[in-house]
Amino acid sequence: MNISKQIHQAAARGYQTAPEAYERGRPGYPSSSIDSMKDVLQISPTTTVVDLGAGTGKLAASLADSRANILAIEPVSAMRDKFSENLPDIPIFEGTAEAIPLRDLSVDVVCVGQAFHWFEPHSALLEIHRILKPEGRLGLIWNVRDESIEWVAELTKIIDSCEHDVPRYQTMNWKAAFEGSSLFQPLKKIQFRHSQKGDLQMMVDRVSSISFIATLPPKKKDILLSQVIELISTHPQTCGKTEIELPYRTDLYWTHKIET
């Protein structure tokens, strides 16, 4: 089975080439959001949790102190390798949200960090419903840049110049599968504030880790990253700072399985 043909090519190609930048440049999740996720999803040492679309392990690492039995699923081999390097005690399997390599009714919770918008949502919900036990729970979480801040809005303009209709959380197209669903209860949501602090190289890595930027031809990628450096070096809100603070909001959604 060719997993790469089952996922969006921007994700397959971009994340295959960018695991190091992803690991260095992507923020973790604020502790308040993880505490809330554990609470609303009832994650405990007796819980089996699937981290679906696990990437390099940022969400799994945040959940590890719950002592839950965590299983990870990730389609991109380079991301799986980085996950295993970061979290050698958590098993990770090749698979997609539309073809999860687990038994029916075998897990208590499915968590998805920064990834559900990449899934084919109707197929993914069928698969998640299949593997969840009765009263199983599903949690979705995203860090989203706070574009109410002027320099962040300017950064987004640079990034979006190369976007080309790639699936993104901000479109909210992914939510359509939940509306009137017979598989899951209506989504609930909590929002948190968050920030990521680092130097200019952190910002370059953050932008480089975006799937559709990771796959740009080298010359075009270099031009875009030079625009990012120019923005941060000259904008009144960031120029002259050795530590840059990139503000986010963190959106946490959750729902419960409906028995059919």
Report the run of H or E that residue 134 belongs to, with start and end.
strand 132-145
Is the pLDDT at 168 greater than 90? The verdict is no
Output the CA torsion sign for 212, 213, 214, 218. positive
pLDDT digits 0-9 by tens, 2-20: 444 455 554 444 455 566 7
Strands 107-113, 132-145: parallel, antiparallel or unpaired by DSSP? Answer: parallel
- DSSP conformation class of 187: P
Is the pLDDT at 157 greater than 70? The verdict is yes
pLDDT digits 0-9 by tens, 194-251: 999 999 999 999 898 888 888 889 999 999 999 999 999 999 999 999 999 999 999 9
- DSSP conformation class of 167: -
Which residue, chain included where needed, has tokens 């948190």?
192
Q: Where are the domains of the chain?
A: 3-145+170-196+249-256
pLDDT at 14: 42
pLDDT digits 0-9 by tens, 74-109: 999 999 999 999 999 999 999 999 999 999 999 999
In words, the CATH class of domain 3-145+170-196+249-256 is alpha beta
Which pair of tokens denotes residue 224? 């875009």
